[in-house]
Amino acid sequence: MSVDALPAYLRHAWPEMREQLLSETYVPAPVRTVYLPKPGGGTRMLGMPTALDRLIAQAMLQVLGPIFDPDFSERSYGFRPGRSAHQALEQACRDMADGYRWVVHLDLEQCFDSVHHDLVMSRVARKVKDKRLVRLIRRYLNAGIMHEGLVSQREAGMPQGSPLSPLLSNILLDDLDKEVERRGHRYCRYADDANVYVQSKRAGLRVMASLTQFLDTRLRLKVNQAKSVVERPWKCTFLGYTVTNNLKPRLKPAPKSVKRAKDRIRQMTHRGRGQHIGVVIAEINRFTRGWVGYFRLASVKAQFDTLEQWIRRRLRKILWEQWRTPKTRCRKLIALGLEGARARKATATGLGAWWNAGASHMHAAVNNGILAEWGLRSLLDQHRAMQRST
């Protein structure tokens, strides 16, 4: 059933659903598995509940959230109302500016998929006194997994597509937050991405060892040793950003974030070889608007400028490929204002489209002003506008 079809279905089915919920006979359906590629390689399994189960889970979230959220740590920023990744980044910068210039980066291994049900439910039951609701949450955790038509039972973990799962993960990881606070450390956590800021590498190694043991013995969660490090913050990535090594750190997009942006734009421009250039530009603008919006906290502009130049070169490459023959290329270059002799010389080269996209003749013919007239929005201009508005 699609989400659009749900309201009409509930008009006649809700009385029965309500009775099943009250009598504790309602059983959530198995979640459907969907595999999505991870930015760093591999895949991430999402569990997608039915539309009806998502509605009920959302209703539970709206009741349970106000019960648990006020007692969560001030240093927890993920999946909470009124909190964001940007607030976590700003707090991290304040800690680094105060002299805590080593970071213990904890990466929890398959956090959502390995959560122990009994540990979560024991913490839920501390505050939720309605036993029917507690048992319903347990049934949601125990709902099977459907893959290619076959259903298997879930013994641990939570479906990542359920509205309720982020709250349940915060309920469990609040124990980690409180433990770090009890020890007096500077700390930021967004979902399962946690950073502890210390003043020396030696202290960082000690904190890494003790928190790894705490997570293993108390919460039964494993730390991904390959991705967890004790390092200088400017050599690490946190929520897509990294920082400069100034005494007052400045935020900038991490190299991996720029690479992922290029990969996405490369896909757009590859598909765009048979499309009008205006259509490709519109698609790029939609992507860069969101990308710049997320990275608006960056105060280092070099990555924006480099990415902007690279985008322009990709667009010039599209045009060179679309023009196809030397005759057409010569005619188009002249039409764009290049003198005839230079256009004929440029199109006589046997070099490839990417080389020509970076050559002076394409820069002169398809200059930045023309690309702007065709609708391409400057990343730097978007970034300045967003910083002014905030």
The 10 Å Cβ neighbour count of residue 221 is 23
- Convert the pLDDT of each residue in 148-175 to its tens digit: 666 666 667 787 788 999 999 999 999 9
Q: What is the reported pTM?
A: 0.87
Could you tell me which of 56, 72, 288 has the C-alpha nearest to residue 177? 72
CA–CA distance from 367 to each of 147, 373, 374 (Å)?
51, 10, 11
Per-chain mean pLDDT for the chain: 91
- Convert the pLDDT of each residue in 20-44 to its tens digit: 999 999 999 988 887 777 666 666 7
Could you tell me which of 55, 105, 389 has the C-alpha nearest to residue 254? 105
Question: Could you tell me the two tokens for 219?
Answer: 């919460």
CA dist., res. 386 & res. 292, Å (int)? 8
Counting Cα atoms < 13 Å in the Cβ hemisphere of 383 gives: 22
pLDDT in tens, the chain (390 residues): 899 999 999 999 999 999 999 999 999 998 888 777 766 666 677 778 899 999 999 999 999 999 999 999 999 999 999 999 999 999 999 999 999 999 999 988 877 777 889 999 999 999 999 999 999 999 998 887 776 666 666 667 787 788 999 999 999 999 999 999 999 999 999 988 999 999 999 999 999 999 999 999 999 999 988 889 999 999 999 999 999 999 999 999 999 999 999 999 998 887 556 788 999 999 999 999 999 999 999 998 899 999 999 999 999 999 999 998 999 999 999 999 999 999 999 998 888 999 999 999 999 999 999 999 999 999 999 998 888 876
